[in-house]
């Protein structure tokens, strides 16, 4: 797929300008200590629900999207499956949209960026667990190199796609716990130097650990928020610049739905 750079109509030019504006807006919303909250959505309904609730930008989560189409997270769906849902979302709402592209679906950076822009998304999460290679963990240098390729691909398209570099060091408990924060800082600093805009040490961190990450990392930190439990003011005070929910909002809605439906089950 290809995102055309030679515009053949005023409409195409307007779309390109709109994408660039949305990308710049999304980037500006990342403010350490005053984090942008990006509800993690999975379809047009959830996207409209979040925008109607007053949120200025969204992220599309691979896990909730995969669940919504009957496939497995960890690249059990294809990139084309994800893009179909992303385009439905961007057709339904007019706010900046970022997308979790997992570990890249085995595709070149050019194809990943072109697909996102063609679907009118202006941000991406890229993680360092390679699902299509048995869950192999990318080295810090390899992950940074992928971030650099994504940044270069976006630059060639003329849109500053907001790159959120994720590490699974904490989520997958990689290596010894005693130096995990130090290793995460080193790994994500390389990603920052390669062109990332935000850094995502995914996991449920104690506030002191989150504060340390926010203090030691050179870019805004993405915190994982639990919609029904966590306190935004505490996450902000720890210095996070972005908050997203992963699959947790969808899961919370599932719990409420189960309670509602239980009233109507016949015993």
Q: What are 115-169's pLDDT values in tens digits?
A: 999 999 999 999 999 999 999 999 999 999 999 999 999 999 999 999 999 999 9
| Residue 55: burial class (beta carbons within 10 Å; 0-12, 13-18, 19+) | middle
Rounded to two decimals, what is the model's pTM? 0.92
How far apart CA 39 and CA 57 sit, in angstroms, is: 8
Confidence of residue 196 (pLDDT cuts 50, 70, 90): very high
Contacts of 180 (CB under 8 A, 6+ apart): 169, 170, 173, 174
Chosen CATH of 10-262 out of 3.40.1440.60, 3.50.50.60, 3.20.20.60, 3.40.140.10: 3.20.20.60
Evaluate if residue 4 carries a pLDDT over 70. Answer: no
* Token output for 70: 């009957």
Evaluate if residue 218 carries a pLDDT over 80. Answer: yes
Q: Is the dihedral of CA 62, 125, 241, 37 positive or negative?
A: negative
Name the 3-class secondary structure at 37: strand
Residue ranges of domains in the chain: 10-262
How far apart CA 14 and CA 35 sit, in angstroms, is: 29
Confidence of residue 267 (pLDDT cuts 50, 70, 90): confident
Confidence of residue 99 (pLDDT cuts 50, 70, 90): very high
Confidence of residue 14 (pLDDT cuts 50, 70, 90): low
């Amino acid at each position: 797929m290809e995102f055309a750079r030679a515009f053949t109509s005023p409409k195409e030019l307007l779309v390109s300008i709109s994408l660039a504006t949305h990308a710049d807006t999304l980037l500006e919303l990342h403010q350490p200590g005053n984090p942008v909250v990006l509800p993690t959505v999975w379809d047009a309904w959830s996207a409209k629900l979040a925008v109607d609730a007053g949120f200025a930008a969204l992220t599309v989560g691979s896990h909730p999207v995969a669940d919504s189409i009957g496939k497995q997270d960890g690249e059990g769906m294809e990139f084309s499956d994800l893009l179909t849902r992303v385009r439905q979302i961007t057709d339904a709402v007019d706010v900046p949209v970022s997308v979790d592209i997992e570990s890249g679906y085995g595709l070149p950076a050019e194809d990943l960026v072109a697909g996102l822009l063609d679907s009118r998304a202006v941000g991406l999460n890229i993680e360092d667990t390679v699902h299509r290679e048995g869950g192999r963990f990318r080295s810090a240098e390899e992950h940074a190199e992928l971030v650099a390729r994504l940044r270069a691909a976006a630059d060639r398209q003329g849109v500053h796609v907001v790159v959120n570099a994720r590490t699974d060091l904490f989520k997958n408990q990689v290596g010894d716990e005693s130096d995990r924060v130090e290793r995460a800082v080193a790994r994500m600093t390389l990603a920052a130097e390669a062109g990332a805009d935000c850094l995502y040490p995914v996991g449920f961190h104690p506030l002191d650990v989150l504060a340390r990450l926010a203090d030691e990392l050179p870019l805004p930190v993405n915190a994982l928020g639990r919609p029904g439990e966590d306190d935004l003011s505490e996450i902000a005070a720890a210095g996070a610049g972005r908050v997203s929910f992963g699959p947790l909002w969808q899961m919370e809605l599932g719990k409420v739905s189960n309670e509602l439906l239980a009233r109507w089950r016949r015993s």
